[in-house]
Amino acid sequence: MIKGFYLPFVKKKFIAKEKQRAFLYLMKELGYTQKEAQRLIAKGRLLVDGEPLTKAGADIEGEFEFIYFEPITKGLRPAFETEEFVVFDKPSGVLIHPQNRNTPYSLIDELKYQFGRDANIAHRIDQETSGLVLCAKNKASERDIKMMFQERDMQKKYLALVHGHFKKDLCVEAPLLRAADESAIVRMVVKVHESGKVSKTDFKALHYFSDLDMTLVECKPHTGRQHQIRVHLFHVKHPIVGDPIYGQNEEDVVRFLDRELSKEERIKNTGSPRLLLHASELEFELYDKKYHIQSSVNFKVLALDICKDCIVFNQLCE
C-alpha cells in the first residue's frame, strides 16, 4: 500500500498507451461518467510525476497515478432488500461516510462493495447511533428516496435510554440552531435557539427502570435536524445515556472532541461507553408499495446490559 493513503482510498499506477484526454481515460478504463471523472481530476486525484493534474481537459500519456475510493467489506448484510433499495441495521461505531482518507471503513464501503458505484446512502445517523439506514441501489431510486425525505413522507422511530424518570409523553417543538458561538464548545454546533430552524419530536415513555433511574423512550422526529433527538431530550432535562456532548460540562466535551477523554471517564460521566440511541423503525411508501421495516436488534436488552456492566465497572474502579 502506498504510504499516506489507506483503504478505502488507494493510489494505483496506470499507463495511457497513447495521448488522450485524462477524463476520457477514466471514463473508458474505470467506468466513471464524464462529470465524475472531471470532478476527481479537479480534486487533484490524478498525479503525473507525483504532481496533481487539476485541469479536467488536460491530456495524459504514459504512466500516472490515480487516487480513488475502493470499497471494502466486513460482511455486514442488509436487513431488508428490494430491487430499488436496501436497509442496513448499522452497528454503533460505524460511520455512514468516511471522514477523511484515513477512515478505514464506513457503511458506504459495504453498500458500494455489494451493490456497485451507483448505490448511495439516502440519509444519515450519527456514528454512535445504531439501527436502520435506508440506501438506494441506483441514481433514480436515490433521487426518489431523497425527495421522500424532503417531503417528510418518511416516518422514523428511535429508541433511547435516557437519564431520570421520563414521566409523561411529550411533544417538543424547540427550534434548533447550528451556528458558531464564542465558547470553546463551538464544535457542539447545535442548540435550542429562537432563531433556529423549526424542529419537532414526539416522545413516548415506555418503561422506567427505578434501579438505574433511567427510562426507555420512543422518539418520533417530524423534522430531520442534526442531533435533533439528542438536543430535544437534553432540553427537557433527560439527556441520553452515553451522550458525551449534551449534558456534559464544557471541559469534558472539548476533551471528548479532541479524543482525550478516556473510556473510563466517559462511563463515569455518562453511564455508557456509547450513545444509547437506536433507529428502530422506518415506515414509508415508495413506488406504490408500503413498507414498515423494524430493526431485529433487542435494544432494550442491549442497553440494559451495557448500563449494568458499566455499574459493575465503576464499582471496580472505586
Q: Which amino acids are annotated catalytic?
A: 126
Report how far residue 13's alpha carbon sits from residue 1's, in angstroms, rounded to the nearest whole number. 12
DSSP 215-268: EEEEEEESS--TTHHHHHHHHTT-PBTT-SSTTS-HHHHHHHHTT-S-HHHHHH
- In the three-class reduction of DSSP (H, G, I as helix; E, B as strand; rest coil), residue 312 is classed as helix
Which amino acid is present at 31? G
> Which grid coordinates belong to 107?
457503511
Calculate the dihedral angle through the C-alpha atoms of 108, 119, 60, 98, rounding to the nearest 10 degrees.
-10
Pair type for strands 59-69 and 9-21: antiparallel
Cβ contact 194:207 at 8 Å:
no
Half-sphere exposure of 64 (CA within 13 A, CB side): 24
Q: How far is CA 282 from CA 60, 96, 100, 172, 193, in A?
A: 48, 17, 29, 21, 29
Half-sphere exposure of 317 (CA within 13 A, CB side): 12
Report how far residue 60's alpha carbon sits from residue 58's, in angstroms, rounded to the nearest whole number. 7
Nearest to 245 by CA among 127, 101, 97, 90: 127
Spell out the long-range contacts of 257-260 with Cβ–Cβ below 8 A and sequence spacing 24 or more: 257/187
Report how far residue 39's alpha carbon sits from residue 41's, in angstroms, rounded to the nearest whole number. 5
